[in-house]
Structure 1
Amino acid sequence: MNLPSLPLADDAAVATASRRIMHEHDEQHAALAARNMTDTADLAAPVRVIIADDHPLVVYALESMLVNYPNVQIVARARSVPELFEVAEQHTFDLVLMDLYMALPGELDGPDAIRAFRAGFPHKAVVVLTMESEASVLRKAIDLEVNAVLSKRDRIDLIPVAIMSAMAREKYVGPVVRDLLTEAARAERREEVSRLLTRREYEVITHYAAGLGVTEIAGLLGRSVKTISAQKCAAMKKLALSNDIELYRFAVECGVTQSEQT
């Protein structure tokens, strides 16, 4: 089993450190995008963008922000999927900045709309904006070869990061979407662990992940040290873990802690 290379720290500290690192990463990329998209205005043709969103305030916010970048040119706007296809046929463009959901009844929407657009305009970059929080839907959107997916809860100044990445044909996933996918993966792994282990084995490793030793767990649960040790060993065997360090890292990576079970 491939195990995550995590330091021996509690899961809250790991999560906090990870969010801080990713936040700093996004801050640096936002600054780089702003600098590059301004400084290179005289060196390259502007990125021609279609904005597709059925919320006028979102369109206004995007336009108000992108107007500050000289090498971005908004060539058209669309408020529905049919209108997006119409303006895409009428204009020369490089990238579409599109909402995931903007359909009227009976129209294509979500991943289906993206799939159709990618089929019709296979060489154009696609940046998806969404309020979607369901991990399975977000994964479908990412798997459809879009260049970037951001939540509308992300900072708006990350849009230039997404555009810069998309034009370089690099994949970009915004921090809110990353967090949603990470937590969904952790939840799925917790469910898998709970299926593999008995209730008592699961209970033991949650306390172990919280930092308690075998003797402390035995006292807390009113069982013998021998019983707790046997249950921990049984859990490790089922999870293909060979030592306590691997068990701790596995539990932290999965988010298996006693606080999440209460």
Structure 2
Amino acid sequence: MLPGRCKQGIIVSTLPVMHNGLEAIIAQHFPDIELHHFQRSAELPSVVVQRASLIIIELPFEAEEAQTECEAYYRLIAQQPDIHWIFMVPKSVFSLAVEHLMRPETTLLATTETVEGVVNAVRLGCARAERISQLLLSPYNVHMQEPVRFASTLTISERQVLRLLGKGWGINQIAQLLKKSNKTISAQKNSAMKRLSLKGNAEMYAWINSLQGVKELNLLSLQKEKAEWNTSHQM
């Protein structure tokens, strides 16, 4: 890499909320990493992969689709061993991920991983990072009881604002859509973050991106709304 050039990173996910959340975390903690966004392994251009030092991938929830993706990434990892591959793994496909993706170059994190967990994995790199997140090795419901309690206190307006943020909308766009002022939308976002005990946009997007956030905000339908995603995030 030439002196002064940004490091190259890639995020792969079918959910815009995953891209937004991880992008916010990387921008805050690793501003020297320039990110590229894709939805599936088949979209990854070899020239972009070859320049990358970090690739973060969200695996699908469905076992059949996850099997296909895991097999594709198994081949890619063998071809590009110098990259740190971080996989965001749903509990439903954890065994598949371990079977296909456990290599010296990889780290397996939970889709419910904390911001600190993601930051530590990126910072430590494949040589020193924990290979499998404790969130994947522990009973899932133990880690999700607290967010469920917090999420149930959100108002309808707060939930609506967070859902639109999760879909990739900005404050100005949301204000125009809901015919409210930017100040009102920002206040509703901040109120929701306070109820959820979230500090900063990175933690907000991490919660939105968690399985509980996706369910609470009805973001599972995003897989059927890809046409609404701002294509400027893609190559």
Normalised TM-score (structure 1): 0.44
RCO higher in structure (CA 8 A, sep ≥6): 2
Please say which structure displays the higher CA radius of gyration: 1
Normalised TM-score (structure 2): 0.48
